[in-house]
Amino acid sequence: MSDDQWFPIIHKDRCVGCGACIAQCPTQALEQRGGKAALVWPERCIYCADCETLCPHNAIEIPYLVCLPTSHNRKVS
Amino acid sequence: MQIVERLAELPYFAALAPAQLTALAQHCQPRAFPAEGSIFLEGEPAAGLWLIETGRVKIHKVNPQGEEHILHLLGPGNTFNEIAALDGGPNPADATALTPVQLWLLPSAALHRLLQTDALLSYRIIGILAGRVRMLVGQIEDLALYSVTIRLARFLLKQLDDPALSGPGVTRAAIAAHLATKPETVSRALRTLEQAEAIQFDRHRIIIVRQDILRTIAAL
Ligand code: SF4
Ligand code: SF4
């Protein structure tokens, strides 16, 4: 997976559109779309994981890659 | 750093006059241990108060089931074994060097002499110890965190051996399910490993910067 494909995953089936994550995201990366949270501005996301932590319905998941210092210097396109 | 300066930085001795600090510093003995070297064992008579000059130390305990728990991960400027140094009892836990370490040992006898002659210092130390007792009461609830931290270290190392395991990315919820705990505990365990300088976060990457530290924690 290339670098620019790592983003919070919003499970629409679990999201109830309460807006808590949208209000708390420090970079305003999230917005409401069709009554659900959506990562409308992915380039703003700083991967702070606040949205994942605070969502009361566990609707957001932040994926991580476990790696060594050398492998992360490798340029992926 | 000079031992006098180190001592002056400790909350215990902040009230001491420069002459008292110098007198105390004269009793401090330098000690060095290699990585994984045992500094002391639980139950042995306590040698005194230890102060870390360089390197990292873990304070750990083995429960009756043979499982080990890390109680503290300490670094430069931190002290340990003050309780045993003060009450003259045995060491309450094991202390082991995580990296090569340089330490200062303030023998119990020197500390006791000072306490007998300085009421203000005694008062200060009582205050600090009372604060520790409060903290320990809170930490009892954290025993679960220690065991999760150890299992998390093992989990992360396993990801390295088999990158396919983390496939498209591993989430806190997935780790929590794997370790039979809650995502909040995983977050706290990740922070513990970060503070131990075993891992670093770089956006979506959990970088294992010190495999040796992670392996030491994992082997507990
Ligand atoms: S906090 Fe959770 S449920 Fe609420 S809008 Fe965000 S994703 Fe949906
Ligand atoms: S990870 Fe942080 S920056 Fe990214 S969407 Fe969630 S709250 Fe916003």
Residue A39 inside a domain? The answer is yes
**Count of structural domains, chain A:** 1
Out of B159, B184, B187, the one facing A66 most closely (by C-beta) is B159
| DSSP secondary structure string for all residues of B189-217 | HHHHHHHTTSEEEETTEEEES-HHHHHHH
Q: What is the pLDDT of residue B31?
A: 97
A with B: how many residue pairs have Cβ under 8 Å apart?
68
Q: What is the pLDDT of residue B91?
A: 92
Position with higher pLDDT, A1 vs B207 = B207
Instruction: Give the domain CATH number at A23.
Output: 3.30.70.20
Mapped onto helix, strand or coil, the DSSP state of residue B58 is strand
Contact B86, B130 (CB under 8 A): no
The domain segmentation of chain B, as residue ranges, is 3-135, 146-217
Superfamily for the B3-135 domain: Jelly Rolls (2.60.120.10)
Out of B168, B203, B208, the one facing A66 most closely (by C-beta) is B208
Residues of A in contact with B204 (CB under 8 A): 6, 47, 62-65
A2, A14, A65, A75: best mutation site toward chain B, by most B Cβ within 10 Å?
A: A65
Residue A66 inside a domain? The answer is no
* pLDDT tens digit sequence for A24-67: 999 999 999 999 999 999 999 999 999 999 999 999 999 999 98
Containing structural domain, residue A21: 3-61
Nearest residue (by CA) to ligand 2, atom 2, is: A48
The C-alpha atoms of residue B101 and residue B83 are separated, in whole angstroms, by 21
Q: What's the per-residue H, E or C state across A6-62? A: CCCEECCCCCCCCCHHHHHCCCCCEEEECCEEEECCHHHCCCCCHHHHHCCCCCEEC
Nearest in space to B213 (alpha carbons), one of B140, B134, B153 = B153
A5, A52, A64: best mutation site toward chain B, by most B Cβ within 10 Å?
A: A64
Smallest CA–CA distance, residue B102 to chain A, in Å, is 27
| Domain topology for B146-217 | Arc Repressor Mutant, subunit A (1.10.10)
C-alpha angle B154-B156-B162 in degrees, rounded to nearest 5: 105
Q: What are the pLDDT tens digits along chain B (220 aa)?
A: 688 888 888 877 877 788 888 888 999 999 999 999 999 999 999 999 999 999 999 998 877 777 777 888 889 989 999 888 988 889 989 999 999 999 999 999 988 988 888 888 888 888 877 877 777 666 656 677 888 999 999 999 988 877 665 567 889 988 998 888 888 899 999 999 998 889 999 999 999 999 988 988 887 6
Q: What is the pLDDT of residue B139?
A: 62
Burial of B80 (0-12, 13-18, 19+ CB in 10 A): buried
Residue A72 inside a domain? The answer is no
